[in-house]
Amino acid sequence: MSMQVSKLTFFDKAFAVMLVVVMTQLYRVIGLVLGMASIAILTGIITALCACYLVVKGKVLYKPIHHYGLLVFATIWPVATSVYADVFDYRAVLMQFHYLLLILSAGVLFSRAPLVAHKLAIASLGISVLAMVVSVRWPAAFASMAAIASARFDYLGRGSGLFLQPNLLAYNLVLLTLLCGRFTGKQEIEKIFAVSLILIAALFFTGSRGGLIAGLVLVLSWVTLSRQMYNRRFILLLVVCMVLLLISLGYIGMFLAEGTLDFSVYINRVMTLLTSDVVYEGSVQYRLAFQMRFLEVIGQNPVFGQGIGSVEYMLQSGELYGAAHNQILDLLLQYGVVGLVIALACGARIAQTVNTQPGSLRGIAILATLLLAMLGTNMLFDMQNFYILLAGLLARVPSPIGLASPHTAAMPRAMGLGIMEHR
């Protein structure tokens, strides 16, 4: 038996294209074109394609040390909690299997060709940012997609793109950037700079304060870990380019529509982070009240939680006043301390895996960003890009991807998710 990074077949390439469709939410456009009343059918088709890819590329071994913890985190424990949940949420249960198949199938592809993951992340980031720009300038173009997804779309000019929700877009952009950084060498300062600039500019136009903070932490971590001698110049150049970019967008707006872009929408939201009474700002104060109610409900069954789907059920019944905007509280309410321990164990395993591999921006920066994201949104575990990122984090990569020679790229290091191909 030998292990090697395989040459991609047509099926591999087709599956990679499907991943881009998932990572960018382009399947919403497909649903609109096909006249579908719901995207649930497309989600089912994507799940089936992931399963087919695993069957076709099924000559793999799963090392328990890599795989079992992830299986428990993504599927076994969440589904098991449905036994004592007040209402059986079949959709939530099916989505857990969807996420698991997404991890495994993407893990197989990324293990066979790590460079593909890097390209997919860059392409998806570009498409998502472009869609965000269109949503800011021509929001009516996305109204029909929002109707299919049963989503609200009016966010007062904030960019939401194909994700149809500004905060959802912001955190998905951070996840895509993390995946890009996973396969970017420490010395590739030009690539780090370009991606950082795109990320921060895009996050500004989403108006997501939590997303912007997570993005800034990620960029500063990149700067620190790149080991460049001119980090101060990097930061200064990044700030200058950001200012010039925002000014230029204001003038571009004059040619795209009447007037210019209303920057007050974005600036006012960002500036609330700098005020001394930020905790009394409207949406922040509401979130604190919602989180206090979450803590009360968590106290009713802290060990095992209320069961999968309980948050959505309690929001609909009025037992919860609003979303917690905090993934940890959301996790504790549904899956209890047991679920939190499983999640922490998986996080520790991911950090160990990434930190022992050369050529990538190290796991500590990735996990710090993810932890910060968990404190700012309750939607992280419902994002498909989160599970695709997990597949990328656990994929073994040969040396710095951007600097690898053809000989190095073919080294026998295809072990993502503990997955090895028989030869």
What is the reported pLDDT for 405? Answer: 34
Most confident of 70-79, 170-179, 269-278: 170-179
Burial of 259 (0-12, 13-18, 19+ CB in 10 A): exposed
> Tens digit of pLDDT for each residue in 280-314?
444 666 778 888 899 999 999 999 999 999 999 99
Is the overall model pTM greater than 0.85, yes or no?
no
Torsion of CA 80, 81, 85, 87, to 10 degrees: -50
What is the reported pLDDT for 257? Answer: 44
Residue of 192 and 380 predicted with greater confidence: 380
DSSP state of 419: E
Of 15-19, 75-79, 158-162, least confident by mean pLDDT is 158-162
**Helix H or strand E encompassing 420:** strand 419-421
- For the chain, the first-to-last Cα distance in angstroms comes to 5
Question: CB 301: neighbour CB atoms within 10 A?
Answer: 16
Share of the chain above pLDDT 70, in %: 68
323 has pLDDT over 50: yes
420 forms beta bridges with 61
Of 1-10, 265-274, 368-377, least confident by mean pLDDT is 265-274
Share of the chain above pLDDT 90, in %: 28
116 has pLDDT over 70: yes
Residue of 266 and 158 predicted with greater confidence: 158
Band of residue 278 on the pLDDT scale cut at 50, 70, 90? very low
> Tens digit of pLDDT for each residue in 181-197?
877 766 666 777 778 87
Residue of 280 and 21 predicted with greater confidence: 21
Band of residue 123 on the pLDDT scale cut at 50, 70, 90? very high
What is the reported pLDDT for 335? Answer: 95
59 has pLDDT over 70: no
What is the reported pLDDT for 260? Answer: 44
Band of residue 21 on the pLDDT scale cut at 50, 70, 90? very high
Instruction: State how far the alpha carbon of 48 is from the alpha carbons of 19, 43, 52, 117, in Å.
Output: 13, 9, 6, 21
Residue of 118 and 4 predicted with greater confidence: 118
417 has pLDDT over 90: no
What is the reported pLDDT for 325? Answer: 87
| Separation between Cα atoms, residue 189 and residue 41, nearest integer Å | 42
Torsion of CA 289, 290, 292, 298, to 10 degrees: 170
User: 108, 114, 104: which is closest to 185 by C-alpha?
Assistant: 114
Task: Work out the average pLDDT over 246-263.
Answer: 48
> Tens digit of pLDDT for each residue in 195-226?
887 888 888 888 788 888 888 888 877 777 66
Give the pair of three-digit tokens for residue 26: 């382009």
Task: Work out the average pLDDT over 23-30.
Answer: 90
Burial of 330 (0-12, 13-18, 19+ CB in 10 A): buried
Band of residue 388 on the pLDDT scale cut at 50, 70, 90? very high
Band of residue 133 on the pLDDT scale cut at 50, 70, 90? confident
Encode burial over 78-95: b for 16+ CB neighbours within 10 A, e otherwise.
bbebbeebebebeebbeb
112 has pLDDT over 90: no
Band of residue 13 on the pLDDT scale cut at 50, 70, 90? very high
> Tens digit of pLDDT for each residue in 163-174?
888 889 999 999
| Separation between Cα atoms, residue 308 and residue 30, nearest integer Å | 30
141 has pLDDT over 90: no
Residue of 56 and 253 predicted with greater confidence: 56
User: 129, 104, 171, 192: which is closest to 401 by C-alpha?
Assistant: 192
What is the reported pLDDT for 319? Answer: 92
329 has pLDDT over 90: yes
What is the reported pLDDT for 271? Answer: 53
415 has pLDDT over 60: no
Q: Which residue has the tokens 């949503």?
A: 135
Task: Work out the average pLDDT over 381-400.
Answer: 79
259 has pLDDT over 60: no
